[in-house]
Amino acid sequence: MNEAIDQGHLRAPAGRLFRKYLYSIVALAFAALAISTAFDVWFSYREQKQLLAATQREQAASAAVQIGQFIGQIENQIRWLSHLPPELSTNEDERLNAIRLLRLSPAIAEIAELDSQGRELVRVSRRVADRIGSKADLSATAAFRGANESRTYYGPVYFFGDTEPFMTIAARGAGRDPNVIVAEVNLRFIWDLVAGIKVGNTGKAYVVDRMGVLIAHPDLWPALRRSDLSGHPDVRAALDGGAPPAGGLVKEDLSGQRVLSTYETVPSLGWLVFVELPLSEAYAPIYASIGRSTFLLVILLALAVLVSLLLSRRMTVPIQILTQGARRIGSGDLGLRLAIKTGDELEALGDQFNRMAAHLRESYATLERKVIERTSELEKARDHALAEHDAAERARSVAVQANETKSRFLAVVSHELRTPLNGVMGVLQLLDDGSLGEAQRRHLATAAASGETLIALVDAVLEYARLEASAETLETRDFRLDQLIETAADLMRPQAFGKGLIFDLACDATVNTSVHGDPVRLNRILLNLIGNAIKFTPHGGISLNAAAERHDNHVWLRVTVRDTGIGIAPDMHERIFEDFVQADDSIARRFGGTGLGLAIGRRLTRLMRGELTMESTPGAGSSFTLEVPLGLAASGIAQGAVQPPSRQLRVLMVDDDPVNCEVGEAILNRLGHRPTIARNGASAVERARDQSFDVILMDLHMPDMDGVEAASRIRRLGLATMPRIIAVTADVSRSARERLAGAGIEKVVGKPILINALREAIEDDPKDEPAAVQLAAGALIDRHFLDDQRELLGAAQIEKLHSLLGETSEQLVQDITKAAAAGDHKQLARSAHQLGSAASALGLVRLFEHCREVELAAATMSPPECQGAARELAALREASMSALYDVLQPAGQSSVG
Amino acid sequence: MIERPASAHTVPAVARRDFLRLAGATAAGWLALGAMSDRIRIVVSLTALPLDDELTRRNLTEAKTSRLGGLIGGLKQRGWVEGVNIRFELRSSFGGPDKLKAAVKELIDLKPDVILTGSTVETAAVMAATKTIPIVFATANDPVGNGFVESLAHPGGNATGFTNSTAEMGGKWLQLIREAVPDLSRVGILFNPDTTPRAGRFFLDSIEQEATVSGVSVVPAPVDAPAEIDEAIRRFSEPPKATMIALVDSFLVINRQAVVAAAAKYRVPMIYPFHYFMDAGGLMSYGPTLEVRSADYVDLILRGTKAGDLPVQSPRKYDLLVNRTVAQALGLKLPFTLLARADQIRE
């Protein structure tokens, strides 16, 4: 039937159809069989009953005929006797004839011959003595009269001797005076006849007379009891002349058994022959027939079930295969071939399915081929794009590297420049001990001014380098805004006047306030702007307007510097804020300068979250506007004046450079403190242990041990009063500060040492110090976390992670910068997230937090904000990495000395 | 006698289901037999004959003509198999009144289910001993007159059975012996008053009636003991010409050899009531054919029918037996009428 494609699997879902078919076929077969059997049984039952009744009627008729013959024979014999001519025989002959008749007929108990007058001629009996010629007058007897009236007289049945049924039969002879023969017949002889009638196996035939009295019965004794059956309804009905029911009558017989009964009338006698068959026997064939039919029904039914099973399977299995095939084709198994071999429509359907699947397979193959082709084309295009991208990336990284090299160079150079300058400036400051002449003092002042300019130049380069590396951080504190502006104006006014320019300062009253910010950077910007104005204004004047808008939690400072100078061409308006750009190359030649001023200014402004803008008309002048938000100063800030040292401090100056030591010592003395000098780290530790100091000024770069190490050792001395340690270094980057914070160094004083900066640093009470620096430094890395990590993973692993973080974070920062530039918020958020995740792995909490902020805010950021955020992240990343490097790296290997 | 021929199927339509019917009938037979065989039924027969009489001897009982043989055979046909579910006991009352009493007591003690009795004397003795145990008498001349039954059709009590010769038979015997010996002038009536119904009067009335009609004198010849038989018969060997009639009498049956021998010795033509006498060499006998269907009644009674509901059966056939050799020896010429009537003529 089928070639068994995973039969077990196929059969599982179906069954409903199978059962439906099975039940239908079984029901159909059962109904057909049951109806057929029922009809068969019903008709068989009817036929059997009719047949039975007919048979019984035949038996009854036969019995009636036999009884009729029995009587008829006796009648004939009597008739023979009566027809003997009377004149031919004597009485003795008559007697002999009668005796002969008795021999012939045992049923005849007695024969009497009467003459035509009714007188008895001869009487021959079996019981009593014969009588001859008694002449007894019997003419009045019913028998004689009856014989004369009709051909043969049949008397009523009477019982002789109480039990013996007898009947009188009389016949008249022929001729003129015919004799009459009267015979007494013992009807018990019918018993032999009746007993011999077979009715089935256990059936009976019996005879009743015209009165309903039982004459003969196979059991004999019921007849001898003179049973009167005329009371029985069926006998009564029969006696009344009713015809027997065609199908026989069911009744109870004498012994109470249920029988099928029918009867027949004996002709001429009017007796009734009843034939009765017990129902149990009569219907036994019918019951047997029903039983056999039922048996046959069960057998056929079982056969029908078997055939139904086979048939249902034949019908459902192909359908199941089709269903399963359709499902598998539906689920994509197009290689499937249905094997239905039923040779009918189902097979055709299966073939159709196979063809459909084949078509589908071909279609899919074509489709797949096309997809593969397209995919490979796309891959090629993508590879090409990637290659281009890689090339661009390489070019960019080369450029970045070059830029970094440049920055590093600048930083190194400027740093190297500052150290000798430091010495020069220090000496110049010391020269003015009050004993100089006017000319000397002027020369000294010029030298000092040149030195200052040189330092400013170097500082600008250094600052630019730092800004370029996003390593610059603001150093904020409270200051008087008006003071700052006035000081700047005062500083630059002589230059303006010197060029014959008018210098207007117009400060709004709102400027008279204390603010919190980075006065040094702000001052630098102002000076730069004023300086540029003076520089590029050959005649006319400069005006400086300042106003402060007070807001809830900050002050919005707006400073405008206008000049009547040469102006700037519109196409240069933005470019002049770029690095090393001046409006014209000729300008550089004419006016000098690094071209970094505005770039630094703008960068610093942006670092302060402010904006530096310009308007200019070439030939008519320029107007630069600085707008920057400043924090509100804490109340009670000292106003303006530099406070004298509150007390004399014991200061340990640690520096390996003798010039620096000398300068430092002189400055300290000038400031009224008591300096002690240590020329290396070891002696510094020794001194700190031996003497008590209030402040230690620690140079960070020393040959024997670096300042940080020395500070750490001093810390570990466990001194009763711990001196404040202030680092003296040219590297005031944030990373450096953080590294110092780790060693308990709270303050940094830039090199070269400026007297004011030093005084400020020494006299600044740490309690007044804004916590921000310390906090910022401390919070950049979660040391606890990092230490745990280190303990957990081991130093080598951490180192690996560190270098990995360095690479990935750099890449991510680049991505962030790119995304910010392209305005791709999503990419920005994603990259920020990745950076945050990477940062959190080594406990760079600040970077992590900022990344999260950027990530969350990225969607709503404006392009400038995005760029700003990117820069911040870049800066923070640099700082964090640096701090991490410092934490992880053994001391003395700092990259920046 | 009650034999039914093997069933011949008259219903061809159902013939094909014979096997079913056969099975059913077999099962029913077993069931019937099983139901009846819960205990052995006891059937006791009391006879006046001595147990060594050839009529009572066991080997002869197998013959159907003998009463006991007919009974055993008939019951076997009805499912009562000796030794399986039925037991037959035979007792004799031969030997006088004491013997009769002892025999009756003995059989009552057996607690039989049915008692079969031979003649009137035994029946009366048993009926006196029990009113509950069913009794089937084989021969009784006058059961109503003896008080055995209320009526022949409805006996009513615990007894039923079969009657023998009726009272009118006396006249018939005289008629028949007269036909053989037409010139007789007197007839002797042989009987034992103790064992003959109503001490002989039962038959004597009809004999005397017939004798009057035919001008014959009746001479009763009662005997009380076997020794008297010879003398009683001898008296009728002398003139005037005499014949004798032997009445229905168990005494005469027991002593049939002596009776027949004496009749031959003294050349007295005698007519007997039973064919037993013919077997012993008697001249002629006339009496009812023994159609004793005791088996029918015993079967019915064993199955629960009350004896009192079963009618007493009377004889319907009569046999005339004549021995021509004996007749010739006596110098008798048998007439046609007699020969024509004879059912059996022995040579």
Q: Taking chain B, what is the end-to-end CA distance rounded to the nearest angstrom?
A: 28
Of A497-506, A584-593, A648-657, B250-259, the one with minimum mean pLDDT is: A584-593
Q: A470 or A337: which carries more pLDDT confidence?
A: A337
Q: How far apart are CA A779 and CA B182, in angstroms?
A: 179
Q: What are the distances in angstroms from CA A30 to CA A164, A311, A312, A314, A523?
A: 63, 15, 16, 20, 114
Nearest to B314 among A99, A103, A161 (CB): A161
Count CB atoms within 10 A of the CB of residue B213.
Answer: 14
Of A231-240, A255-264, A873-882, A883-892, the one with minimum mean pLDDT is: A883-892
Q: Which DSSP symbol is given to B96?
A: S
Interface check for A48 against chain B (CB to CB < 8 A): the answer is: yes
Interface check for A254 against chain B (CB to CB < 8 A): the answer is: no
Confidence of residue A586 (pLDDT cuts 50, 70, 90): low
Interface test with A, best of B151, B179, B341 (most A CBs within 10 A): B341
Q: Verify whether the Cβ–Cβ distance A128 to B293 is below 8 Å.
A: no
**Is the CA virtual torsion A204, A209, A214, A218 positive or negative?**
negative
Q: List CB contacts (< 8 A) between B337 and chain A.
A: 92, 95-96, 99
Our CA-based measurement puts residue A298 at a distance from the nearest CA of chain B, in whole angstroms, of 19
pLDDT for position A892: 38
Q: Cα B44 from chain centroid?
A: 17
Average pLDDT over residues B232-249: 90
Q: Which chain A residue has the Cα nearest residue B8?
A: A198
> Amino acid identity of A464?
Y
pLDDT for position B245: 94
Q: Verify whether the Cβ–Cβ distance B337 to A164 is below 8 Å.
A: no
**Is it the case that residue B206 has pLDDT exceeding 70?**
yes
Q: Which chain B residue has the Cα nearest residue A286?
A: B14
pLDDT for position A584: 59
Return the closest-CA partner of residue B118 out of B31, B55, B74, B76.
B55
Chain B residues 173-212 with a CB less than 8 Å from chain A? 174-175, 206, 210
Count CB atoms within 10 A of the CB of residue A656.
Answer: 15
**Is the CA virtual torsion A351, A352, A353, A356 positive or negative?**
positive
**Is it the case that residue A879 has pLDDT exceeding 90?**
no
Q: How far apart are CA A649 and CA A490, in angstroms?
A: 33
Q: Verify whether the Cβ–Cβ distance B17 to A288 is below 8 Å.
A: yes
Determine the 3-state secondary structure of A669 from DSSP: helix
Strands (E) located in A501-553? 502-507, 514-517, 541-550
Chain B residues 326-345 with a CB less than 8 Å from chain A? 336-337, 340-341, 343
Return the closest-CA partner of residue A24 out of A389, A311, A273, A329.
A311
Our CA-based measurement puts residue A97 at a distance from the nearest CA of chain B, in whole angstroms, of 9
B11-165+289-317 against B169-287+319-346: fold identical: yes
Q: Identify which of A186-195, A717-726, A786-795, A831-840 has the greatest average pLDDT.
A: A186-195
pLDDT for position A580: 62
Q: Which DSSP symbol is given to A211?
A: T
**Is it the case that residue B144 has pLDDT exceeding 80?**
yes
Our CA-based measurement puts residue A285 at a distance from the nearest CA of chain B, in whole angstroms, of 6
φ, ψ dihedrals at B160, nearest 5°: -155, 180
Q: Identify which of A18-22, A217-221, A841-845, B241-245 has the greatest average pLDDT.
A: B241-245
Of A425-439, B74-88, B292-306, the one with minimum mean pLDDT is: A425-439
pLDDT for position A581: 61
Return the closest-CA partner of residue A474 out of A516, A527, A512.
A516
Q: Which CATH architecture has domain B11-165+289-317?
A: 3-Layer(aba) Sandwich (3.40)
Q: Verify whether the Cβ–Cβ distance A288 to B20 is below 8 Å.
A: yes
The ipTM assigned to this model is: 0.82
Interface test with A, best of B169, B310, B314 (most A CBs within 10 A): B314
- Write down how long chain A is: 897
Mean pLDDT of chain B: 82
Our CA-based measurement puts residue B167 at a distance from the nearest CA of chain A, in whole angstroms, of 9
Q: List CB contacts (< 8 A) between B310 and chain A.
A: 221
Looking at chain A, the whole-number percentage of residues with pLDDT higher than 70 is 87
Q: List CB contacts (< 8 A) between B154 and chain A.
A: 225
Give residue for tokens 């256990």: A202
Interface check for A188 against chain B (CB to CB < 8 A): the answer is: yes
Confidence of residue A48 (pLDDT cuts 50, 70, 90): confident
Q: List CB contacts (< 8 A) between A158 and chain B.
A: none
Q: Which chain A residue has the Cα nearest residue B4?
A: A196
Our CA-based measurement puts residue A95 at a distance from the nearest CA of chain B, in whole angstroms, of 8
Burial (CB < 10 A; 0-12, 13-18, 19+), residue A138, is buried
**Is it the case that residue A13 has pLDDT exceeding 70?**
no
Q: Where are the domains of chain B?
A: 11-165+289-317, 169-287+319-346
Maximum distance among all alpha carbons in chain A? 231
> Amino acid identity of A303?
L
Average pLDDT over residues A776-786: 63
pLDDT for position B283: 93
> Amino acid identity of B51?
L
Confidence of residue A894 (pLDDT cuts 50, 70, 90): very low
Q: A395 or A477: which carries more pLDDT confidence?
A: A395
pLDDT for position B266: 92
Interface test with A, best of B2, B17, B289 (most A CBs within 10 A): B17
Q: How far apart are CA A160 and CA A188, in angstroms?
A: 11
Confidence of residue A594 (pLDDT cuts 50, 70, 90): low
Confidence of residue A172 (pLDDT cuts 50, 70, 90): confident
Helix, strand, coil share of chain A (percent; to 5): 55, 15, 25
Interface test with B, best of A44, A93, A128, A215 (most B CBs within 10 A): A128
Starting at the edge strand found earlier in the chain, the sheet holding B344-346 runs: B217-222, B186-191, B242-246, B270-272, B284-288, B318-323, B344-346
Looking at chain A, the whole-number percentage of residues with pLDDT higher than 90 is 5
Interface test with A, best of B154, B316, B345 (most A CBs within 10 A): B316
pTM recorded for the entire structure: 0.52
Task: Report residue A789 as tokens.
Answer: 């990590």
The string of pLDDT tens digits covering residues B50-80 is 877 777 654 444 444 566 777 888 888 888 8
Confidence of residue B133 (pLDDT cuts 50, 70, 90): very high
Our CA-based measurement puts residue B53 at a distance from the nearest CA of chain A, in whole angstroms, of 30
Q: How far apart are CA A594 and CA A574, in angstroms?
A: 17
pLDDT for position A754: 67
Our CA-based measurement puts residue B180 at a distance from the nearest CA of chain A, in whole angstroms, of 14
Interface check for B8 against chain A (CB to CB < 8 A): the answer is: yes
Q: B147 or A637: which carries more pLDDT confidence?
A: B147
φ, ψ dihedrals at A335, nearest 5°: -80, -5
> Amino acid identity of A647?
R
The string of pLDDT tens digits covering residues A275-327 is 888 888 888 878 888 888 888 888 888 888 888 888 888 878 888 888 888 88
pLDDT for position A15: 66
The string of pLDDT tens digits covering residues B81-96 is 888 888 888 888 887 7
**Is it the case that residue B34 has pLDDT exceeding 60?**
no
Confidence of residue A83 (pLDDT cuts 50, 70, 90): confident
pLDDT for position A645: 54
Interface check for A92 against chain B (CB to CB < 8 A): the answer is: yes
Interface check for A611 against chain B (CB to CB < 8 A): the answer is: no
Q: A174 or A3: which carries more pLDDT confidence?
A: A174
Q: Verify whether the Cβ–Cβ distance B168 to A127 is below 8 Å.
A: yes
Count CB atoms within 10 A of the CB of residue A16.
Answer: 9
Q: List CB contacts (< 8 A) between A96 and chain B.
A: 336-337, 340
Return the closest-CA partner of residue B200 out of B230, B245, B160, B241.
B245
Q: Which chain B residue has the Cα nearest residue A104?
A: B341
**Is it the case that residue B30 has pLDDT exceeding 50?**
no
Mean pLDDT of chain A: 80
Q: Verify whether the Cβ–Cβ distance B171 to A224 is below 8 Å.
A: no
Our CA-based measurement puts residue B168 at a distance from the nearest CA of chain A, in whole angstroms, of 5
Q: Verify whether the Cβ–Cβ distance B153 to A225 is below 8 Å.
A: yes
Confidence of residue A775 (pLDDT cuts 50, 70, 90): very low
Q: Verify whether the Cβ–Cβ distance B171 to A129 is below 8 Å.
A: yes
Q: Taking chain A, what is the end-to-end CA distance rounded to the nearest angstrom?
A: 94
Determine the 3-state secondary structure of A261 from DSSP: strand
Interface check for A256 against chain B (CB to CB < 8 A): the answer is: no
pLDDT for position A270: 85
Looking at chain B, the whole-number percentage of residues with pLDDT higher than 70 is 85
The string of pLDDT tens digits covering residues A183-230 is 999 888 888 888 888 888 888 888 888 888 888 888 877 878 878 888
- Write down how long chain B is: 347
Asked if residues B245 and B270 have their Cβ atoms less than 8 Å apart, the reply is yes
Q: List CB contacts (< 8 A) between B11 and chain A.
A: 51-52, 55, 200
Average pLDDT over residues B265-290: 90
Our CA-based measurement puts residue B276 at a distance from the nearest CA of chain A, in whole angstroms, of 20
Domain at B169-287+319-346, CATH class: alpha beta
DSSP A95-159: HHHHHHHHHH-TTEEEEEEE-TTSBEEEEEESSS--EES---B-TTSHHHHHHHHSSEEEEEEEE
Q: Verify whether the Cβ–Cβ distance A99 to B337 is below 8 Å.
A: yes
Task: Report residue A192 as tokens.
Answer: 């032999």
Our CA-based measurement puts residue A140 at a distance from the nearest CA of chain B, in whole angstroms, of 25
Q: Verify whether the Cβ–Cβ distance A198 to B7 is below 8 Å.
A: yes
Q: Which chain B residue has the Cα nearest residue A187?
A: B316
Chain A residues 97-116 with a CB less than 8 Å from chain B? 99-100, 102-103, 106, 109
Confidence of residue A764 (pLDDT cuts 50, 70, 90): low
Long-range contacts of B23-28 (CB under 8 A, 24+ apart): B24/A284, B25/A201
Q: A337 or B292: which carries more pLDDT confidence?
A: A337
Asked if residues A30 and A304 have their Cβ atoms less than 8 Å apart, the reply is yes
Average pLDDT over residues B316-342: 89
Q: Which helix (H) or strand (E) holds A726?
A: strand A724-729
Q: How many CB pairs under 8 A join A and B?
A: 114
Asked if residues A837 and A829 have their Cβ atoms less than 8 Å apart, the reply is no
